[in-house]
Amino acid sequence: MVCSVSGPKRAYWMVHTVFDLSRLKLCSVEVTDRREAERLSRGVRAGELRIADRAHAKATDLATVVKAGADFLVRAPSSYPRLLDGDGHLLDRLALCREAGDKGVLDRSVRIQDGKSKIEVAARVVILPLPPEAAAKARRAARRLAAKARYKPSDAGIEMAGYLVLLTSLAADDWPPERLASTYRLRWQIELAFKRMKSLIGLESLRAKDADLARLWINIALLAALLAEDDLPALDPEAPDSLPLAA
């Protein structure tokens, strides 16, 4: 999200991007007003693998990605989307996490369902316990976030914060759990790319209020950042949060 300079009526625009991790380059940029939500399926093409965080674990979007001939790999929150077994019964996510804790890893075929539209998509849920220190850190972060948002977190939510829960359409034969975790870890390169762009051009502070001028300013700023980036980081799978590679 990009907002205009401060004032009584600040305007906001959404910058929707697709980042190619194989080349460490932005391959798609679209500027809209804030009424258009972020979607994992925006501009999806056959053969792509879309990797995203918890905010994009939405059954309708995941189904659209698969329908387009692409695949997804997303991290799942503790409360959504709905996960069903082969008989259509709702799965207990906490029970799945505890099973992963006992076994070291859990890899199971599921149906991901949207609670309203009932749209479903076939997938795998892969759960890996975080290392003890990382799990404790993740649970502290979950408590801090709840305190900041002024709500009481559930005991189940805090417990599940200590697990990496992934949803994917990728085949188990070619994509075992350790490869999925390693691949998901590459997502931090996207965060680094946007931090660099913000430091180079101040993208978080928009200088225009007119809609057309705002889009022009954002696109020029992004172009300037891309031209300024000569030294790219190595594509290192080691993520800052030390997600586990294997059980």
* pLDDT band at 239; cut points 50, 70, 90: very low
Residue 181 and residue 191 share a domain: no
pLDDT in tens, 120-168: 999 999 999 999 999 999 999 999 999 999 999 999 999 999 999 999 9
- Grade residue 190 by pLDDT with cuts at 50, 70 and 90: confident
Q: Which of 163, 185, 207 represents a domain boundary (last residue)?
A: 185
**Judgement on whether residues 128 and 26 belong to the same structural domain of the protein:** no
Residue 242 lies in a domain: yes
- Give whole-number Cα distances, 1 to 16, 54, 224, 243, in Å: 9, 17, 18, 27
Residues above pLDDT 90, as percent of the chain: 51
Identity of the residue numbered 34: R
Structure tokens at 2: 């990009």
Q: Which pair of tokens denotes residue 212?
A: 């057309």
How does strand 25-33 pair with strand 2-4? Answer: unpaired
Query: Is residue 25 classed as helix, strand or coil in its secondary structure?
Result: strand
Residue 45 lies in a domain: no
Answer for the pair 73, 166: CB distance below 8 angstroms, yes or no.
yes
Q: Is the CB of residue 60 less than 8 Å from the CB of residue 39?
A: no
Query: Structural domain of residue 95, as residue ranges?
Result: 50-185
| Mean pLDDT computed over every residue of the chain | 82
Q: Is residue 13 a contact partner of residue 34, using CB atoms and an 8 Å limit?
A: yes
- H helices present in the chain, as ranges: 59-67, 93-103, 132-149, 155-160, 177-185, 188-201, 211-228
CB atoms within 10 A of CB 62: 29
Of 169, 185, 201, the last residue of a domain is: 185
Could you tell me if 145 and 176 lie in one domain?
yes
**Cβ contact 125:167 at 8 Å:** yes
Asked, for residue 226, whether it belongs to a domain, the answer is yes
pLDDT at 146: 92
Residues 163 and 218 in one domain: no
The pTM score is 0.77
Residues 171, 74 share a domain: yes
Question: Based on the domain organization, do 121 and 205 belong to the same domain?
Answer: no
Q: Do 95 and 147 reside in the same domain of the chain?
A: yes
Q: Tens digits of per-residue pLDDT, 193-231?
A: 677 666 666 666 666 667 677 777 777 777 766 666 555
Quote the number of domains for the chain.
Answer: 2
Residues 178 and 201 in one domain: no
pLDDT at 59 over 80: yes
With vertex at residue 196, the alpha carbon angle to CA 30 and CA 1, rounded to the nearest 5 degrees, is 40
Digit-coded pLDDT (tens) for 75-109: 999 888 999 999 999 999 999 999 999 999 999 99
CA 180 distance to own-chain centroid: 14
